[in-house]
Chain A
């Protein structure tokens, strides 16, 4: 057996943690230093496993002495294996591949994140938030207020990106901080624009629906941002990830809606109306006639009376 055989030790989540290049008719695996592959696992015997080739060239795994190994959940002491079989001895996962094992064609290399683009995004997010602060300024402008808010925003973006970089480092081996930062800052930018747009629309169109239900978009946006982060960690199973995140977002939105419609919710005692005001020039909605306005008001009576009946029948 002159051919090269690779013995790979796998981490529990799949990636290879160590790889040994072995030649010779027989490869021995165990805890003692006589072996070709030495494993630091107290649950592995000093001489545990032997890898040989059958007459037809197939690879054979054989447990030594009274030992055994697990293959696809079954205890064995001898078995034919191939390059995709994962054996477990003690707590260690072992895979054996010979030099002919086919590898897929190379994937396109990821383009490194452009720091210019990241910087542009950061500047845009800070500029928009700074502008919103200025438009909301009703007292003497103070530099500390702007610097403080911008510092808070920057700290939040950095902390968010760092958190995802840590996850990414743990699960994919690469932190990809700049990519995570890009996603985080894009999220903040999208959130700021979305808030501007919805509050502006609620005012312009004089729409209570936009004002009351705009929160749904914020949860969806959060789900999209989380999806992009997860996709960066590992691009596998995008549909499953999208489904789980979409489901979570839908669940939170549903819960919030249920709360909003729950008559017993003490928060409902507060009046709900859109507080946002913009300069009159931004009002695009047509002025509602007095009759239309009073028709809306009169329609509240039936609702209030049914609330009263519901309250009377509540325990």
Chain B
């Protein structure tokens, strides 16, 4: 069903975790690993940056063995550095199991302290255990004052094979992304997460964050202004104690999701026609919709299914095994060609699956609870009666956040129907109910 599967649009964070080590080694031994020629600007930038970039290691507190690798860069003489939240997420969620360490290009190493993190923008502020002489500065005036095609230089320690600099191109902000991201056409590799991407003048423009699997050199940077804001925040407040980190994660998810759902509501819905039915689709530009039909199937299907699958580019990394924040709206218009009403009902049964985001993991979620009813939208003469299923599960660790999956099957005629589904991740109960209301009221028919 998923159109995403066809294009392999997968974002991957650029931290190396134990799961990725095998892949890293495989690439390591590939014979075609010829280094790209580095321009003289690159040479100059790397020379000046060499002592300002760090490798960040998350290690097991008990054995000291590394579990995640990423990069970071120094931003003041007190040893403050910026990295990605996803590089330190294991420590944030389980501070008693993990410790943070750093390694410099010259071989120095030591312990790291976490000062602040910004889940929504995938950033974290850490501090090394000794003062540093060299560090990057942000030129606040020049930030994002760039034109497409300008050269950028990303640094970090790719695949744990040594610090490196990668030349690439600035390509503006990513379209249809809820979270602002710079589109960087350059080869970011696992391990470079949290490293800086600087302009030819040496100013930090963004922070390496992700690359798209299945694409070529399509990589992403967090705009530097979010790092500046987080640094300002960190300077103003006490670093959170390890025991308060998880609650802070919950608070930040809730805040980010509240903003997301407010934006969704503010954008509103538009009506899309499906045969005799009218169903809502979000007007927000961070939804990507794909169409699909079964008409080409062999043998020829006895009922046609035309599906519109809209998913949002709003995923939020929380942990290696937990991403939240995706939304989906899926409508399938089903019409019988030569099935009798019983057979058509069975055909609908085969289609009436709830939207499915992630595997339903016990670690993070309570069991699902569902309500199923034969109901109708507020204006009976406008909307068809539907078989509605409304399922929700609560996040075990984060209060007042739920995943909600909803499905409705119209029941007004024996030979055609509209199956509408929508899924909301990490939503408050009130928002979920309000959106369900809005959704059902927009489900109408043209009799």
Interface string of A260-276 (1 = CB under 8 A from B): 00011110111111111
Interface string of A15-46 (1 = CB under 8 A from B): 00000000000000000000000000000000
B365 x A290 contact (CB < 8 A):
no
Question: Nearest chain-A residue to B390 (Cβ)?
Answer: A297
CA A137 to CA B301, docked complex, whole Å: 12
Question: Nearest chain-B residue to A299 (Cβ)?
Answer: B371
Is B63 part of the binding interface, using a Cβ–Cβ cutoff of 8 Å? no
Question: Nearest chain-B residue to A262 (Cβ)?
Answer: B367
CA A288 to CA B387, docked complex, whole Å: 10
B370 x A135 contact (CB < 8 A):
no
Chain A 292-311 residues near chain B, CB threshold 8 A:
292-294, 296-301, 303-305, 307-308, 311
Chain A 120-146 residues near chain B, CB threshold 8 A:
135-140
Question: Nearest chain-B residue to A211 (Cβ)?
Answer: B372
The contact of A273 among B340, B346, B391, B402, by CB within 8 Å, is B391
From A74-82, A103-111, A181-189, A278-286, give the one contacting chain B: A278-286
Contact flag A272-B345 (CB < 8 Å), given A297-B390, A304-B402, A308-B394? no
Question: Nearest chain-A residue to B352 (Cβ)?
Answer: A275
Is B393 part of the binding interface, using a Cβ–Cβ cutoff of 8 Å? yes
CA A208 to CA B346, docked complex, whole Å: 19
| Neighbouring B residues of A208 by C-beta, 8 Å | 372
Number of residues from B at the complex interface, CB < 8 A: 60
| Neighbouring A residues of B388 by C-beta, 8 Å | 293
A163 CB to closest chain B CB (Å) equals 33
| Neighbouring B residues of A99 by C-beta, 8 Å | none
From B135-143, B220-228, B408-416, give the one contacting chain A: B408-416
Q: Which of A268, A280, A288 has the most CB of B within 10 A?
A: A280
B394 x A277 contact (CB < 8 A):
no
Is A287 part of the binding interface, using a Cβ–Cβ cutoff of 8 Å? yes
Question: Nearest chain-A residue to B388 (Cβ)?
Answer: A293
| Neighbouring B residues of A298 by C-beta, 8 Å | 429, 433
Chain B 374-423 residues near chain A, CB threshold 8 A:
374-378, 380, 385, 387-396, 399, 402, 405, 409, 411-414
| Neighbouring A residues of B301 by C-beta, 8 Å | 139
B7 CB to closest chain A CB (Å) equals 28
B352 x A277 contact (CB < 8 A):
yes
CA A294 to CA B437, docked complex, whole Å: 8
CA A135 to CA B340, docked complex, whole Å: 8
The contact of A290 among B343, B367, B375, by CB within 8 Å, is B375
Is B373 part of the binding interface, using a Cβ–Cβ cutoff of 8 Å? yes
| Neighbouring B residues of A303 by C-beta, 8 Å | 369
A277 x B345 contact (CB < 8 A):
yes
A280 x B362 contact (CB < 8 A):
no
The contact of B375 among A277, A292, A304, by CB within 8 Å, is A292
| Neighbouring B residues of A178 by C-beta, 8 Å | none
| Neighbouring A residues of B429 by C-beta, 8 Å | 298, 301, 304
| Neighbouring A residues of B303 by C-beta, 8 Å | 138
| Neighbouring A residues of B342 by C-beta, 8 Å | 135-136, 278-279
A135 x B346 contact (CB < 8 A):
yes
Question: Nearest chain-A residue to B432 (Cβ)?
Answer: A297
The contact of B343 among A138, A268, A280, by CB within 8 Å, is A138
The contact of A289 among B354, B375, B396, B409, by CB within 8 Å, is B375
Contact flag A271-B362 (CB < 8 Å), given A136-B343, A297-B390, A300-B369? no
Contact flag A269-B433 (CB < 8 Å), given A138-B350, A289-B375, A290-B378? no
A277 x B366 contact (CB < 8 A):
no
| Neighbouring A residues of B378 by C-beta, 8 Å | 290
Q: Which of B342, B347, B361 has the most CB of A within 10 A?
A: B342
The contact of B374 among A272, A285, A294, A307, by CB within 8 Å, is A285
A276 x B411 contact (CB < 8 A):
no
CA A285 to CA B375, docked complex, whole Å: 10
A308 CB to closest chain B CB (Å) equals 5
CA A302 to CA B392, docked complex, whole Å: 12
A279 x B345 contact (CB < 8 A):
yes
B375 x A139 contact (CB < 8 A):
no
Is A206 part of the binding interface, using a Cβ–Cβ cutoff of 8 Å? yes
Is B109 part of the binding interface, using a Cβ–Cβ cutoff of 8 Å? no
Is A312 part of the binding interface, using a Cβ–Cβ cutoff of 8 Å? yes
B239 CB to closest chain A CB (Å) equals 26
CA A140 to CA B337, docked complex, whole Å: 12
CA A136 to CA B344, docked complex, whole Å: 8
Chain B 433-447 residues near chain A, CB threshold 8 A:
433, 436-437, 440
Q: Can you give 9 contacting A-B residue pairs, CB < 8 Å?
A: A136-B342, A137-B343, A263-B366, A273-B354, A290-B440, A293-B371, A294-B437, A304-B402, A307-B366
17 extra interface residue pairs, beta carbon distance < 8 Å, beyond A206-B372, A270-B368:
A135-B342, A138-B303, A140-B302, A206-B374, A269-B367, A271-B405, A277-B345, A279-B414, A281-B341, A281-B414, A293-B388, A298-B433, A304-B366, A304-B369, A307-B369, A308-B396, A312-B396
Residues on B lying within 8 angstroms of A by beta carbon are 299, 301-303, 339-350, 352, 354, 360-362, 365-378, 380, 385, 387-396, 399, 402, 405, 409, 411-414, 429, 433, 436-437, 440
